Chains A and B, each alone.
Chain A
Amino acid sequence: FIEMLDSNKDSLKLEAMKRIVAMIARGKNTSDLFPAVVKNVACKNIEVKKLVYVYLVRYAEEQQDLALLSISTFQRGLKDPNQLIRASALRVLSSIRVTIIVPIMMLAIKEAASDMSPYVRKTAAHAIPKLYSLDPEQKDQLIEVIEKLLADKTTLVAGSVVMAFEEVCPERIDLIHKNYRKLCNLLVDVEEWGQVVIINMLTRYARTQFLNPNLNECLLEEGGESTFYGSDADQDEDEDEDKKDEALSKRKPYVMDPDHRLLLRNTKPLLQSRNAAVVMAVAQLYFHLAPKAEVGVIAKALVRLLRSHSEVQYVVLQNVATMTIKRRGMFEPYLKSFYIRSTDPTQIKVLKLEVLTNLASETNISTILREFQTYIKSMDKDFVAATIQAIGRCATHIGEVRDTCLNGLVQLLSNRDELVVAESVVVIKKLLQMQPEKHSDIIKHMAKLTDNIQVPMARASILWLIGEYCEHVPKIAPDVLRKMAKTFTNEEDIVKLQIINLAAKLYLTNSKQTKLLTQYVLNLAKYDQNYDIRDRARFIRQLIVPTDKCGALSKYAKKLILALKPAPILESPFKDRDHFQLGSLSHLLNTKAGGYQELPDWPQDAPDPSVRNVEVKESVPEWTKCSSREKRKEKKVEKPFYSDSEGESGPTESADSESDSASSSASGSEQSGSGSEESEESEERSDSDEEEEEEEEEYMSLDVLMGPTPSPQVTPVGNFLSSSLVTDLEGLSLTDTVLSPATISPSGSLKSYELLHRITGEGLWVEYCFSRQPFLPDPHMVAVQIQFTNSAATEAKSLRLEEAKLQSGMRVKEFPEIEVLPAGESATVVMGVDFCDSTQAANLQLCTHSRKFFVSIQPPVGELMTPSFMTENEFKKEQGK
């Protein structure tokens, strides 16, 4: 090898290095070649170089002195004009675990953190945990670098730096404030692995910064008082008069922080990720952070993961099992997805069984039991045993089926398979404890089983049962003891202990028949090999057999031994596991793993939300923004590709992209109009498209899409207006006001009109405004945003629109029916109206479950028009038409 490495030919060197790497891969020690290899670190050939790096990283730790020889090569590499060489030099340098070079690494990381190239900055972020594990004393300096990199606006860096943050300083939650909104907005474009890390970190962050959205429910559950709202308001008045925030909560018990909403909204689409880890991360975020009513969305995505590899299923089922205990309703519709297939590995079967058991309720128990019946016939005995246990648990939780289950289990006692019988005995024992008096038949039946059944646990259970309920089977019990006394010496330890118990109990209740037998058993036990059994025998003898030195205890022997024992509670092993963050290793193992970050409890009072405000560097007034297009276009180059294109790709997204760019680039595009992003799009597109198309695309930049849009992108898609879109819009207006207080927020600039007065509406108050967003399902329609507020004391049901008298040609696209609007809540929906370019009012009928109101929407002229940007020439051309 050494000869080959020393040769002048690259091909020989390469061959040698390949063989060496192959040896490393097989786990062979090649450290003696270190000097010969390290010489080639400066080799010109990239292939050789790469392999030398691999070798170096593997052995540098063992050969520290020699490794230092290579450092200068990397230091030169760090200054290379090519960003890839800079990055790879830093990567290898930071992977060399030699303490002496810590200062060099520190310097290199600091420099790389302000490198022009995002790729080099990403590498710097990766290097941070490496240096930290090498020398934890560098923590403070590293935190500075992390802080700097957290402010980075590229998606490439975001995931890596959050990873570094999690490894080095997860407790410094304050570093996140300023970057919170940016991270939320960039999230969708970060690579998959980074998404997982960011989502997990943000879950923890949100737990420290926002209020529990389910707090009211929790209190309601605990207090069980329906007058909760009233009393809460009173308390607030008494206690927190000073606080402004509290004044707000007097009217509305809970208001979600817009930043909290932002997080939920921006993570939701990731439930559609192909990466199971991302889906799980979002699912746990929703489980830990979302209001109860919204958690349901994750169920479908998690069920999807059950069609993945068995390892993925294993982890997902563990988490689902925990979730089903807290929120059973969420997975109930997917009951059948947890049905067991005979091809499932046993561990998956057992977990599915756990989930099915957790999902069992009065309504579905018969279906579940029927399913369980088929499982009992399986060839997989471990699984059959688990099924029997599951039946037992269903029986304890759902009283109605207890007898059915018990009968089923008793039938199993005549099963051919001994394991099945044994497991049934154990479960029956637990069930009988709940109501023994009703079931002396079963106890008798089981007593007979002692002749055949050999499984120790089952024998022990039967003996315990007979002892405990000997008064129900007064004739059989002494007989069983007689048989057991015969076989005592051959029994397993747990059986022996139960024989002693049985003997003691019989001695106390029926000493006439069993006195001698008991003595005999106790004598046998006295000389047993197991000290536990000897101790037990000695203890029992002292307790029950009256002697001269009769201890004080023996007076209470009956009370002690024949005390009424509480029935066992069969609980899921997944109970209370949710104090671990779901999806984490610690949750899976149910023990705290090293480096696990506790999921904090919600704070009592929300910390100051203004810490997350970011200064807006530049704000362009609405009507000048068009002229700044050129400028923005230049900026665009720096922006991550997809966050832009997300915004560009369709009219609806303009809404979201506003907040994206507001924080990520501060380019002033957080204006109310959707125009800015749209026009960017048309520019980009028109670069390659024909002239004609350009004009068409310009149409897209209209605030409210009125005219026909021949753009091929907008395919009207029927009546698809998902409610998520509505929440998007709703959330948007909130975010924007917070994000850029200096600029005109869209909601502020929109005028609201009253549709239904709260007195006429009997507490239902309806306002509408023209949201100036394109109405997607139909470009001819104007989007009308309607806000319902229910100020009545009772909930309003099935809010919907019916067309009453529309002018000819006028069309209306109703919003999806609001099923329930609880008292004190409000809801926002979007509907579309085609006014046919007239200012005639659209007369509609607004219906609730109990009443109908005639309302009308009158469009001001301005709302029917759309601002359009065009050059002077274009304008003249248009005017000339």
Chain B
Amino acid sequence: MIHSLFLINHSGDIFLEKHWKSVIGRSVCDYFFEAKEKAAEPEDVPPVLQTPHHYLISIYRDRLFFLSVIQTEAPPLFVIEFLHRVVETFQDYFGECSETVIKDNVVTVYELLEEMLDNGFPLATESNILKEMIRPPTILRTMVNTLTGTSNFEERLPSGQLSTIPWRRSGVKYTNNEAYFDVIEEIDAIVDKSGTTVCAEIQGVIEACVKLTGMPDLTLSFMNPRLLDDVSFHPCVRFKRWEAERVLSFIPPDGNFTLMSYHVNAQNLVAIPVYVKQNISFFESGSGGRLDLTAGPKQTMGKTVEGLVITVHMPKAVLSASLTATQGSYTYDPATKVLVWDIGRLNPQKLPNLRGSLSLQAGAPKPEDNPSINIALKIQQLAISGLKVNRLDMYGEKYKPFKGVKYVTKAGKFQRPACVAISHFST
């Protein structure tokens, strides 16, 4: 299926290539570069391109293009999903996925790619299995390796491929057995000019960190599973058990993984935790404009809003901004036209405000569109949908594990252009 892979950086240099069948010359990438030239933004490069002899399927992530070459019919999503899996594996191994990191670990990267595909068909994509064959670099090991001249590979033969459960390595041992589950939710809302919510939905994921000895069989149940409108699972979850009983029954992979992601329907009225009053206007003369932003809490269920960051995408004509913030700090990048206001913790007694003037490019017409606003924030100890984990049971092993559930909060996006606004945020 997948014939070759080229990694291309932002400026268009191919810095890594891997072929799983016979070698394909780099010139095939020229078609891609042509399309890249045409596209205004890197995101606008069509993911699937047709060339006289090949098809190019690419993804853009972390400012890198992962370009795969295929020769015959193959489901495009199959290839795209695989490429994303490659990126995730790199992130898992090296902490990030950037040109520098890939170049520094080029041998490991090559080994990984070799294991992940055989003749263009995925072979081992589960991190548990890969890690057993190719150890991720750690600072300690890198030092030991340089001193002793050994490298990352396992001395003994891996047994992971042979495990009956493809995502869990066998022979896992821990002295402290623990299982943590983080429920992370994000609100995605469209707010209209007057500030009323047109529609809103909640996206959630359950990230798990499971460090348990042996072959534990876990069952996780919810207090209110009916909240969940749509779910998708890690392959370890037994579908039928969910369908019948609404419990998650699974033998977990070892380490970190996303157990499930879910969607809570908009009909359960979503409370939006903050509001932003915006007033951005430009003078008719076209020389400048005024900006006035105020943020305040709305429904936070008694919890504190933290890490509040407001991002405004300014019209192209805005040259610079001279503003004063009552709280936090702001930056304006004249190249990308993005104004970032980092507020931090939201104090309900004293609402943060950012105001000042904007200067426009001379001679430019008055910008007509009200800029869109993104809001990122965090609320600890709150799952906005109200989803609650009921209990976690373990079978198959005798020890008593330490179990923990956190309703962690992560930053998301909340966006509201003036007319129809789109907002995401996460709690």
Contact = CB atoms under 8 A, between A and B. Distances in A.
Interface of A: 11-12, 14-15, 18, 21-22, 24-27, 46-47, 50-51, 54, 58, 61, 82-85, 87, 91, 94-95, 97, 117, 119, 123, 126-127, 129-130, 133, 156, 160, 163, 188, 191-193, 196, 200, 269-270, 272-277, 279-281, 300-301, 303-304, 307, 309-312, 314-316, 336, 339, 341-343, 345-347, 371, 374, 377-379, 416, 583-586, 588-589, 591, 593-597, 640-642, 645-646, 649-650, 652-653, 656, 685, 688-689, 712-715, 717, 720, 722, 724-725, 776
A188 B81 CA distance: 19
A269 B72 contact: no
Contact of A584 (B19, B73, B162): B73
B80 A585 contact: no
A191 B81 CA distance: 14
Contacts of B76: 315, 583-585, 588
A346 B38 CA distance: 13
Contacts of A341: 415, 422
Nearest to A637: B164
B121 A304 contact: no
Contacts of B148: 11
B364 interface: no
A277 B238 contact: no
B245 A188 contact: no
Given A685-B396, A725-B243, A276 B261 contact: no
B386 interface: no
A312 B77 contact: yes
Contact of A129 (B55, B119, B417): B119
Most-contacted residue by chain A among B153, B162, B232, B397 (CB, 10 A):
B232
A688 B397 contact: yes
Interface of B: 1, 14-19, 21-23, 26, 40-41, 43-44, 46-48, 50, 55, 58-61, 70-78, 80-82, 84, 106-107, 109-111, 114, 118-119, 121-123, 125, 148-151, 153-155, 157-159, 161-162, 164-166, 188, 190, 198-199, 203, 217, 219, 221, 225, 229-235, 238-247, 249, 251, 258, 261, 263, 266, 313, 315-316, 365, 368-369, 372, 374, 393, 395-398, 413, 415, 417, 419-420, 422
A640 B14 CA distance: 42
Given A126-B121, A309-B59, A584-B73, A274 B258 contact: yes
Contacts of A123: 118
A342 B372 contact: yes
Nearest to A87: B161
Contacts of B258: 274
Contact of A377 (B58, B119, B229, B369): B369
Contacts of B251: 645
19 contacts: A26-B17, A27-B14, A54-B114, A58-B23, A97-B22, A117-B162, A191-B235, A309-B61, A311-B60, A342-B422, A345-B41, A416-B368, A583-B77, A594-B72, A642-B238, A649-B241, A650-B240, A717-B246, A776-B244
Contacts of B420: 339, 371, 374
B281 to A, nearest CB: 16
Contact of A304 (B80, B198, B230, B242): B230
* 4 interchain residue pairs of minimum CB distance: A595-B72, A11-B149, A269-B239, A641-B164
Contact of B230 (A269, A277, A301): A301
B368 A82 contact: no
B415 A276 contact: no
A126 B415 CA distance: 47
Given A191-B166, A270-B239, A336-B199, 16 more contacts: A25-B110, A46-B155, A97-B21, A126-B123, A188-B239, A193-B125, A276-B77, A301-B230, A311-B84, A336-B266, A347-B44, A595-B71, A649-B241, A689-B395, A713-B395, A725-B243
Contacts of B23: 58, 61
A586 B73 contact: yes
A269 B121 contact: no
A501 B84 CA distance: 54
A339 B420 CA distance: 10
B309 to A, nearest CB: 15
Nearest to A154: B164
Contacts of A339: 190, 420, 422
A82 B110 contact: no
Given A117-B162, A273-B235, A25 B73 contact: no
Contacts of B153: 46-47, 50
A147 to B, nearest CB: 20
Given A273-B233, A300-B230, A645-B238, A311 B80 contact: yes
A653 B121 contact: no
Contacts of A583: 75-77
A272 B247 contact: no
Contact of B109 (A25, A129, A347): A25
Nearest to B262: A304
Contact of B107 (A22, A275, A277, A304): A22
Given A274-B258, A315-B76, A14 B122 contact: no
Most-contacted residue by chain B among A83, A274, A584 (CB, 10 A):
A274
B109 A715 contact: no
Given A336-B199, A641-B164, A715-B221, A85 B73 contact: no
Nearest to A639: B164
Contact of A652 (B230, B240, B368, B398): B240
Contacts of B59: 309, 311
B240 A274 contact: no
Given A650-B244, A725-B244, A14 B149 contact: yes
Contact of B240 (A130, A374, A593, A656): A656
B229 to A, nearest CB: 8
A156 B44 CA distance: 38
A277 B121 contact: no
A564 B33 CA distance: 47
A193 B125 CA distance: 9
A377 B44 contact: no
A221 B198 CA distance: 38
B78 A196 contact: yes
Given A652-B240, A652-B244, A309 B80 contact: yes
Nearest to A776: B244
Contacts of A119: 161-162
A371 B21 CA distance: 48
Contact of B16 (A25, A87, A276): A25
A696 to B, nearest CB: 13
B40 A346 contact: yes
A712 B393 contact: yes
B17 A653 contact: no
B74 A585 contact: yes
B415 A343 contact: yes
Contacts of A276: 77, 80-81
A94 B43 CA distance: 38
A589 B50 contact: yes
A123 B162 CA distance: 12
